[in-house]
Every structure is written in structure tokens, then in C-alpha cells.
Structure 1
């Protein structure tokens, strides 16, 4: 099988472009070494794919296994960690298997997972708990108690994160109060990605970005914060050591190589958070680009090559390594809110959310605050619930669905306004994620509200790509990532300015009432 090895920076080959307009990929024979296997554990599926030195997916080497969180009305949001480990093993079987053509070419295995995951592990390296997800809001009472004890803005500047049910300080307190037997059986607390490494490799370290997403990291030093550990009532010996992106695991058990010979030369990189991966994979590698993620949840982010001294009230700032931080804000419900609206309202036949997004603007729409699983940025009201206002007997299902969609846009827009305070006017705004692909008209709504162009990233697996690119910074330094496809631009329409200004004013009043408690 013909191949090319990754060149040094001075002689780097031209960055490849897609073979055609339909798929961003390269055949194995044209892939530039080294290759990386990227794994992604998201809210709705586990995925894996092979990428070359430019971060281009290798055609025919990918697999996906759907899954779902177990959610209950009391705020429960969990997933079985062993099922995820099994999914990932199956994905590696399918993508890599015993394929001899990959031996000697595959140099890295990198993984991202949804952020703020937590699994308890016993002395035999087996799970003592389910995996608690970012959407689990049962720690709302503990969160309220913490907020009464501390100066929250001070902690935000220390960790880059507000106090919230998505982070681990209130979750650890909830576990002590509600699951003392599980806590007693647990010798170590890890993220879902770390648990995968423990089960497969027998060892694990927390990537800096994963540690940052716990809300327990000192963003200035890159180590666990003693202050936050005290508040969480957790000993640092119960947590993993922290690894920078350039500190992979080099030695792996022989059984791993026996099962997958193609991984004999691979370095295993510490897990990273999916938000960071999606940002990098969509082209947001510096402060010139703001990335809007619209998937099950959503976010707006800017990657900065610094550690900002001050963070606006509604944002988070996650340390990536010694010189980079990811600044932004997240909302729990984007795709989740649209799916709920599509299922709940009796929409006419042949009318789905894509059609709802392109309907004309209307002044009589109800106002909906789409906080189905709590609110993160910008008010950090973990126990917030969805609210609907201005519904009358004349309000139909299409108006309700469009109200949910415009509520999603407004919640993202709140994040964008605070990002501007720190990052200024970025050069471009890129939208990515399944919602942007499946409901493209929502990007026009976002462009109208923000008053600026948005570019649609047409590549669907940007998170996997970003995970691979971060690993390639270590494996193939100096090799530039290929430009991610982005073929459609949405220009703002000034005639809709009045609609959004009026709606934003109504939203602000309702929002303040919602988060006041």
C-alpha cells in the first residue's frame, strides 16, 4: 500500500481539499502519515474514525453506535459507563480491527467525551456508580448551599467556571448526602474518558481540558484547586493526575496490541472535552473565529492564546494547556429543545423544524424560554425550567414551535454579547453541529439576531476531527490542518432588526424573573 509520511514543516505538501463537493475525506492510499484514530462519546452516540496528518478523515474507516442518557423528572441524567466502554471497543474493532494495511501507520488514539462526566471506580477498577452527565440537576439544593457560603465571582475567576449543577463541586456534595454507600465503595473519581482508559489500559490521566470542565481546576496553575476540593469535600488522591495535550500514555498492555495489531505503535492521549474538540475541528483554532455549536446542547466559543485575567459574569474559561484557553458559554437545550417541540406540538403533515425555521417572521409569536434541563450561561440557574408566555387560544402548533426556535437563538445570543466584551469583533462566525446541518434555516435566524454573517460548516464530524487535530499537534508538528468545508453563508437581513430587538427586550424581562430565585 503506497503511503506518505508526515513531512517536516519546511517541506509540507499542499493541504488537501475534498475529492468532490459531497464528502470531506481522503482514500487511505493518499492519506498523509501519521494516522490517528479519534473516538468521540457524545450525548446521542459513540463514534470513531481514522484521520491523517492534516486532520482529514480517511474514507471507509469510521463507525457509530447510538445511545441515550437515562433521564427522569427528578433531574436524573445518567448513562452506563460499561456500556460506553463496550461501544468504544466495538468501534475500534470495526474501524481498526486486524487491518494489516494500518500497521506502522497508526500512531495515536485520541478520545473526547461530553464534558463534566463523573464515574466512581473501586479498587478493582470497576465502576461503583453510573456515569453522571452534565445534564444531571439533582444537586440543585447543594448548589444553593454552596452559593450561600462563597463569593461566587471570586471562584469564577479562579476556576473559569461558575457554580452549577453541571460541575462537580455540588455533585460530590449530593453524592455524600444521597449515595453514601457508593461513595464509601469508591476509591477514585474519573471522567468517562478516563474510565475507558482504566478499563482498557489499566491507567488514566485527566486531560487539562477535562479537568477544567469539572469546575475544580485552578485555571492559572493547571492543577486541582485546593479551595474547590475543600468545598467539594473531595481529597485530591481520589482524582487523577492531570496531563497536558502533549503528555500521552506511551506504554499499553500487551493484550491491547494482541487485539488490535494496528495500534502497536500508537500513543494514547488523555481525554479532552467535546466542546474543545468541536471548536478546533470547525476551524476555531485562534481568536479570529467564533464557533457556534448547535447539537443536542449548544455553545458559542472562542479559542484564545492566553489566560484571560477577567471573565465576564455569564461565561466560562477553560484552560487547555499552558498557553491556550477556551472562552465561551453553553446552553443545555438546542437540539433537545427542537426535538421536544417537534414531538410535542401537533405540526401539520410535511411540516418539520426545517420548514418552521424558514417561515416568515410573525409579531404574534409566544415567548418561550427553552430551559428543559436547566440553564447554564449566562445566568447559571441550574434548576431553571422552560417557560412559555403570551399563549392565547389563537396560538397554533407552528407558532409554538417557532417560539421555541427563536428562544434557542436568543439564549445563544446572550452568550455572544458577553463574548464580544472579551474577544471583540471576531473575523468570522462559524456554525456547526447536527442542528445546523438538519435545520439550516436556524442559522439565518441567528445571523438576523446577531446582525452579522454566519458560515455553515458543512462537515458533520467536526468533533472527531478536532480530537484528531489536537493529537496531531504532537505527532506531526508543523503540518497544517486542512481547511474544514464551509460552503454556505447566511447574511443578516436588516429588515428583521426591529423584530429581534422587541423580542430580546421581552425575553430579558422574563429571563430575569426566571433566574431571580
Structure 2
């Protein structure tokens, strides 16, 4: 029997899952690492710490399974999108990794947008114009740290840095490249006009390859540190969000995958490039003739965590509090933009708001409104997706919110769709393994988890429809209110 490892290099931890020949989970390991937030808007990580975590996770997994070490066919990689770091000619980091959550480029991007219409960049790349993207970070570095940028001989993401340490090759998969804002979707190559606009050299970027690419070189010393057999191949893989769809078998026409963890996302797969004229959705490469269209939100479970801290309550108590209140929270609405927002607003400076506060509202109402607000925000994203990608027929969901039976039912009622709840363990890791294999629809069907379905309540869904229409009507004026933040900054 041959075994495979799927590895996900995330923004909070690196996880690895060992799969057997029929892709059943045999073992797993993980290691966390910190995010550096020394100033407002900053979200950096030490690439050397992440590399050590990757090595430690592989060591742990392989040492525990020493007997099959030589039977491991491949290690395939998933990674968080939008990371950026500057590297010297000899492969040493000149900066930390700027993660997707680092929004210090927002002011620079705002000025650039005032001077130029950037929609042409979105139309070529499928990456929304936002401070999360490497495009925006490079504009910021060019303006604020030009000397540092000039020193860099390589501009890469964290997965490129990790795979370089293991192979000595600078490669980037089409999937992660398509999330940089610098990559032409039609040509599947770096867009020279965009590179010229930013003022960076094509030679600084890794060679783009398909997501099933297998590295040909191996750094024996690093392999030994990781306890890897030299017979084990490294498959480059793709981005975490795209691979999650594959791992959940949400790759059919009009099948939507929804994830609610700390943040959240909705994604569907199409056989062609799908772009929103207003630039509100992303379009990223997964595999040949498979494009992942969707929207990621900054605010998911973190809003629940925030209200838990405010009320000094545990999650069980919060669910009990929210369960006392009827759907719609008696007119209290919450716009969950605690960390700015990506989809559907794509504005890093927008703030969270409660609307409709009344003397009748209690703590319980505020908890219910927070839970509903996160889902209303995602419902807006789905509404946009269905406008261009077609009506969704299947909604497969994963994430920490599945631990709350109340929140699951809310989601079914607000979306007015039956939810398929997947206990699939680390879907991005499974997707990383599957993307390196020949596509097998029958195999994916056997892996598809349908252990639980949540059916919407017709009457509750009808009530939520009215509340959601009000939520949508107020979302645009809410966006304009972000000027409040700028006012207080200037005082």
C-alpha cells in the first residue's frame, strides 16, 4: 500500500495528515506559531519559525509511522493565500512574511485608487483590489520602504520559501499565483503590464507551474531533518481555499463550499473564468478547467469570540443566550466588520456596527444579532456568487461553527438551503493530496461525507428573508460610515 501526506501551511498553524491508499486518515500532526502585531494593521510571521514548524510536523508524523516511511509516495502542499516576503539572492529572508491580514498597505492602495482606475487589474487577475493582496503590499513597500524592496532579489510567498528549502527550486503554483493580483488568468503567467505598473522586475518572481507539479530536485540535508525518504515526491499543490472545495468534493457545477472558522468563505467551482464587473468576487485557479469563484470574509468566528470576551461568557452560555431570542433579534442588526472586510465590501477601513438598538434589547439580543450578522454577511456573498455562477444546488459546510447546533440551524434558515455538514478532517490537506492525483469522480463520491443534513424551517426562512432584505438595504450606507474611524485617527 502507498501512503500520502497532505500538508497545510496556514496562518495560525501548519497541519499534516497521513492518508492510506484509499485516502482514509491514518494519523495527523500540527504545530502553531504566533503572528506579530507590533503596530496597527500589522500581521507578520517569522518565515524561519514557520519552516521549523513544517519540519517538526513532518518529523512527528513520520517518526510515529516509521514502519511505513518508505511507502509514502508524496507530500503535497496547501497554503494560505496572499502572503508576501522579500528574499536575498542566496535565499535568506529580508523581511518577515506579510500575511493576508496585514492591511498597512490600505492607505497607499486608497491613494492609488484615487489616482488610477484599478478595475483593469482585477479583470486580468481575478484578485479583488484590497490590502490583503501582494499587489497592494508591493505598492506599499514601493512607497514606504523602497530601499528594502530594491535589495530583494526574490519576491515570494511562504510556500515558495518552504519548498525552496526542501528542493532548491523557486516555483509557484498557478493557484497561489492567481491570488497575488499580479498574474494573468488567461495567459497563466505574470502580467508584464501589472508588474510595470507596480515597478517590479519579472525576474524576482518564481516560475509558475500547474498544481500537480512534482519537484525534480531534493535537498538531502533538509529531507533528512524532516525524516523524509528520498523516494518521497513533493507535489506543489495549491491554495487552501481552492483545495478545500476539492477535499469536500464541492467541485460539481453549482456546488458551493462554505467555511466558517475565524474568518469565512463561500466558493464554487466553474469550468471557465468567472469575473464580477464590480470586482466583488475572486476567481482563482484550482486545476485544468477548474476555477474557484467566491468571496472570503474577514469576520466569522472571531465575532463570536469578540462578544464572548465582552460578556465574559463561554460559547455554551452564548448559545443558550441567543437561543432565548426569536429570529431577527427583535430588529437588532449587526454588521460584523470588526477587522475591516473583504467580500462583499473589499474595504479594510470599514467598521462593525449595531443598528436598531432599542430599550428592549438585552445581552441575549446582542449575541443573537452577532451570530445572525455573520451569516447575513455570507448570504450577501452567496447572492453575488449566484448572480454570476448560477443558483447553488448544494451547500457543503465545514468549520468551527458546526459545534453550535443553533448556529447550524440559523445558517440553513438564513440561506434557505439544506446544508450538508462535512466532518471531513482538514479538507485542504485532503485536497492537496487529491490535486496531485488523476481526477477520479467515483473516488470522490466515496469520500463525500453526508453524515448530517440541516433542513431549513420554512416559516423561519421567510422571516429571515425580510430581515436580510433590510440588512442588504443598509449595508451600503454602513460602508460610508467608515469615515468615523478616519475622524478619530486625526484627533
Equivalent in 159, 162, 180 of residue 146 of structure 2: 180
| Residue 442 (structure 1) aligned with residue 407 (structure 2) | yes
* Cα distance in 1 for residues equivalent to 2:356 and 2:276: 38
- Separation in structure 1 between the aligned mates of residue 324 and residue 289 of structure 2, nearest angstrom: 42
Counterpart position of 2:452: 488
Q: Determine the structure 2 residue equivalent to 1:17.
A: none
| Equivalent residues of 1:358, 1:441 under 8 A apart | no
Superposed, 1:350-365 pairs within 5 Å as 351-353=317-319, 356=322, 360-365=326-331
Matches within 5 A, 1:412-427: 412-427=378-393
- Could you tell me how far apart the structure 1 residues matched to 2:265 and 2:466 are? 24
Contact 1:222/1:322 (<8 A) preserved? no
Map 1:73-92; keep pairs closer than 5 Å.
74-92=40-58
1:47 aligned counterpart, secondary structure = strand
Q: Give distance in 2, aligned partners of 1:105 and 1:376.
A: 42
1:115 to 81, 85, 88: 81
Contact 1:257–1:263 (Cα < 8 Å) also in 2: yes
Instruction: State the TM-score, normalized to the length of structure 2.
Output: 0.91
1:433 to 399, 421, 427: 399
- Rate the CA distance shift 1:293–1:312 in 2: closer, same or farther, 3 A: farther
Q: What is the Cα deviation at residue 137 of structure 1?
A: 1.2
Deviations 1:57-97 (A, max 9, x none): 22xx2111123423366211122211111111000000113
Which deviations, in whole Å up to 9, do the C-alpha atoms of 1:30-60 show, x marking residues without a partner? Answer: xxx2x221111223321111123443222xx
Q: 3-state SS of the aligned residue for 1:383?
A: coil
**Whole-Å separation in 1 of the counterparts to 2:414 and 2:148:** 47
Q: Give 1:501's aligned residue.
A: 465
1:171 counterpart (118, 122, 137): 137
The residue number in structure 2 matching 1:454 is 419
Does structure 2 retain, via aligned residues, the 8 Å contact 1:38–1:109? Answer: yes
The offset of 1:334, in angstroms, is: 0.5
Distance 1:53 1:402, change over 3 A: same
Does residue 261 of structure 2 align to residue 295 of structure 1?
A: yes
- The answer as to whether partners of 1:194 and 1:270 remain within 8 angstroms in 2 is no
**Structure 2 CA distance, aligned partners of 1:378 and 1:360?**
27
CA RMSD of aligned residues (A): 2.4
Question: CA distance change for structure 1 residues 358 and 299 in 2, over 3 Å: closer, same or farther?
Answer: farther
Q: Secondary structure at the match of 1:495?
A: helix
Secondary structure at the aligned position of 1:414 is classed as helix
User: Which deviates more from structure 2 when the two are superposed, residues 90-99 or residues 273-282?
Assistant: 90-99
Per-residue CA deviations over 1:176-224 (Å, capped at 9, x if unaligned) read 2223343233221111111111233322311111001112111111111
Compute the TM-score of the two structures, normalised by the length of structure 1: 0.86
Q: Secondary structure at the match of 2:459?
A: helix
Aligned-partner Cα distance in 2 for 1:295–1:398: 22
SS at match of 1:97: helix
| Aligned partners of 1:50 and 1:57 also within 8 Å | yes
Tell which has more relative contact order, 1 or 2 (C-alpha 8 A, sep 6+): 1
Mark the CA change 1:495 to 1:478 in structure 2 (over 3 Å): closer, same or farther. Answer: closer
Q: Distance in 2 between matches of 1:101 and 1:434?
A: 34
Unaligned runs of 5+ in 2: 484-491
Residues 83, 355 of structure 1: CA spacing in aligned structure 2 closer, same or farther, 3 A cutoff? farther
Structure-1 residue corresponding to 2:432: 467
Match in the other structure for 1:145: 111
Separation (CA, whole Å) in 1 of partners of 2:314 and 2:100: 34
What SS does the aligned partner of 1:70 have? coil
SS in 2 for 1:318: strand
- Secondary structure (helix, strand or coil) at the match of 2:436 reads helix
After superposition, residues 124-139 of structure 1 pair within 5 angstroms as 124-139=90-105
- 391-400 or 235-244, larger mean C-alpha shift: 391-400
Deviation at 1:330, TM superposition (A): 0.9
Q: What is the CA–CA distance in structure 2 between the aligned matches of 1:175 and 1:332, rounded to whole Å?
A: 23
Contact 2:134–2:180 (CA under 8 A) maintained in structure 1: yes
Residue 354 (structure 1) shift: 7.2
Alignment of 1:9-408 (within 5 A): 33=2, 35-58=3-26, 61-71=27-37, 74-97=40-63, 99-260=65-226, 262-308=228-274, 313-347=279-313, 351-353=317-319, 356=322, 360-408=326-374
**1:27 maps to which residue?**
none
Cα distance, 1:309 vs. partner?
6.6
Contact 2:275 2:282 in 1 (8 A): no
- The question of whether the paired residues in 2 share the 8 Å contact of 1:36 and 1:471 is answered with no
Distance 1:347 1:132, change over 3 A: same
Distance verdict in 2 for CA 1:286–1:396, change over 3 Å: same
Question: Which residue of 478, 482, 485 corresponds with 1:514?
Answer: 478
- Specify which structure has the higher proportion of helix: 2
| Number of residue-to-residue matches in the alignment | 480
Going from structure 1 to structure 2, the CA distance change for 1:111 and 1:325 (only over 3 Å counts) comes to same
1:76 counterpart SS class: coil
SS of the aligned residue for 1:317 comes to strand
Maintained 8 Å contact 2:328/2:369: no
Deviations 1:395-435, CA, capped at 9 Å, x for gaps:
33222122111111011101111211233223311111222
Check conservation: 1:79, 1:132, Cα contact below 8 A. yes
